[in-house]
């Protein structure tokens, strides 16, 4: 049953990557906001704030894409394993039926 748990591992790795990515995005945003605080004039400060906001939006979008990709991959893997198990069970049933018919004849 170790193969069936791989979808759980995929989700866990994606969650960890998502957490690390968001931490990096927040750190970068904070660095840019610190530059904005040190800016001499209002125009430069507003420009840095805009860059910080854009950085956060783009990072969040990247994290969502990563999470969605991992969820789709995990679901696909789980579905493939489930289908393979069903096919194996059906294949195991078929020869048993054929053997029973041969014994009757």
The residue ranges of every structural domain in the chain are: 6-104
Whether the CB-CB separation of 45 and 39 falls below 8 Å is answered with yes
Contact 71, 8 (CB under 8 A): no
CB 70 within 8 A of CB 11: yes
Token pair listed for 79: 């579905």
**pLDDT for the residue numbered 100:** 59
Quote the pLDDT of residue 51.
98
Taking the model in full, what pTM does it have? 0.74
Contact 44, 75 (CB under 8 A): no
Cα atoms in the Cβ-side hemisphere of radius 13 Å centred on 12? 5
Q: What pLDDT score does 3 carry?
A: 56
Please give the chain's pLDDT, 105 residues, in tens: 455 588 899 999 999 999 999 999 999 999 999 999 999 999 999 999 999 999 999 999 999 999 999 999 999 999 999 999 899 888 888 776 665 566 665
């Amino acid at each position: 049953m170790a193969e069936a748990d791989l979808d759980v591992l995929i989700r866990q790795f994606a969650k960890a990557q998502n957490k690390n990515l968001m931490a990096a995005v927040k750190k970068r945003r904070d660095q840019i906001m610190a530059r904005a605080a040190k800016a001499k004039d209002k125009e430069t400060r507003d420009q840095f704030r805009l860059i910080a906001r854009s950085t956060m939006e783009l990072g969040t979008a990247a994290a969502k894409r990563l999470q969605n990709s991992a969820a789709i991959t995990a679901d696909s893997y789980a579905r493939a394993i489930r289908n393979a198990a069903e096919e194996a069970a059906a294949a195991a049933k078929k020869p048993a039926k054929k053997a029973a018919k041969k014994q009757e004849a």
